[in-house]
């Protein structure tokens, strides 16, 4: 299955793109997708923590299955004062 993957902020900088299409295996979850992405874009490993994930514009846990999902977005952790 092919998913649209969106990257925001520093993750976009680390991948060099705001979005891309990724093929994932049936039965994959968000964590498996992230593992695929870190292999494809080694700069993502330097993030140090898992970013927030959203499936079809709804925040998602890392064990959320991707069946039926069209779009996954990754957002880096934010801090502020």
Digits of tens for pLDDT over the chain (81 positions)?
Answer: 999 999 999 999 999 999 999 999 999 999 999 999 999 999 998 877 789 999 999 999 999 999 999 999 999 977 655
CATH fold, domain 2-75, is: Ubiquitin-like (UB roll) (3.10.20)
In whole angstroms, give the CA distance from residue 64 to residue 48. Answer: 21
Predicted pLDDT at 49 = 78
Alpha-carbon separation of residue 43 from 6, 12, 47, 48, 65 (angstroms): 16, 10, 8, 10, 25
Dist. CA 19–CA 7, nearest whole Å: 6
Residue of 13, 3, 2 lying closest to 54 (CA atoms): 3
| pTM reported for the whole predicted model | 0.92
């Amino acid at each position: 299955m092919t998913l649209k993957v969106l990257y925001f902020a520093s993750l976009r900088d680390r991948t060099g793109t705001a979005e891309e299409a990724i093929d994932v295996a049936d039965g994959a979850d968000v964590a498996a997708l992230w593992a695929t992405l870190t292999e494809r874009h080694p700069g993502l490993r330097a993030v140090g923590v898992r970013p927030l994930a959203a499936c079809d514009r709804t925040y998602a846990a890392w064990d959320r299955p991707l069946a039926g999902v069209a779009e996954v977005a990754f957002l880096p952790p934010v801090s502020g004062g």
